[in-house]
Amino acid sequence: MAERMVKSNGIELWTESFGEPGNPPFLLVMGASAQGILWPEELIDLLVAGGHYVIRYDHRDTGQSTSFDFQKNPYTLADLAKDALGVLDAYGIAAAHLVGASLGGMICQLIGILHPERVLSLTVMMSTPLRTGVVETFAQAFQGQATTEALPPPAPRAIEVFMSAATNPPGNLQEAIDYQVKVARAMSGSVAPFDEQECRRTVERIFHRARNPAASANHGLVPSPTREQAEALKNLRVPTLVIHGTDDPMFPPAHGIAAAERIPGARLLMLEGMGHDLPRPLFGEIARAILAHTSAKA
């Protein structure tokens, strides 16, 4: 593995690569407010063993990448997509297999729409179809308001944990760590027992390696996709695999089903008991599915 700071879209992004640069490349795109290190190295090792070169990175406003004052320098989903393409540019990669989790899945969908020539394949994990109003719907749900969208809101356990921070925000670093562990527990599925000790070690690492831990909240201010972007999803012609969990509390299963239905030709893999996370017992199945999906397009 090799860490590297790159210039992308006018900012600095932390990146890390695994495997041989000459092999077919993967770019792993994490979710909202999430650092690239949340892509488990055990899962990455399986992709590398499958003959691929794998890159993960910290989004802007997370980890060791550039942080922003969002009020002075707001940005959009399209800017986050440009960041991802800038990572590929910095590594001299013309096109890659994109794997996106949660918000990362939406970013990857947008790249597939705007720059299909840069995409060998898409894998959209625990995400939702690119659409308008998604941010507003989540804001309503986390404020205890009824939502009007056809797709279901987050599950009660997700709403409860996020509302708890709104009414009683963490007051110091230890409380912030404790809260993030609570969030991770709420996001986990039923496929394996929640490992609090491992989670706490990961959360502590996240806080200690962040340039500005508070900046990650800026991802919640990124506006929803535009109507034009959402409508363009029906024209996406990139080979796509949708992976979703039956126990996902953030994007209930209907979101994964909708993504597979709205992306032309997409295949759906629904994993029993997976939540809004990447559980170790499913690393092998996830890796095999991704490698099978990408092998014919390498």
What does each C-alpha distance from 138 to 166, 235, 244 come to in angstroms?
A: 14, 26, 19
Active-site residue flag, 248: yes
What does each C-alpha distance from 32 to 105, 106, 250 come to in angstroms?
A: 10, 10, 12
Whether the Cβ atoms of residue 263 and residue 289 lie closer than 8 Å to each other: no
Pairing type for strands 240-245 and 119-125 reads parallel
> HSE (CB half, 13 Å, CA atoms) of 135?
14
Which residue out of 248, 255, 277, 293 is catalytically annotated?
A: 248
DSSP H helices, 10-133, are 41-49, 77-90, 103-114
Which residue out of 65, 102, 121, 188 is catalytically annotated?
A: 102
What does each C-alpha distance from 286 to 11, 44, 72, 186, 245 come to in angstroms?
A: 32, 11, 40, 21, 11
Active-site residue flag, 276: yes
Copy the structure tokens of residue 211. Answer: 């340039």
Which residue out of 59, 219, 255, 276 is catalytically annotated?
A: 276
What does each C-alpha distance from 108 to 124, 158, 284, 289 come to in angstroms?
A: 7, 24, 23, 18
Q: List active site positions.
A: 102, 248, 276
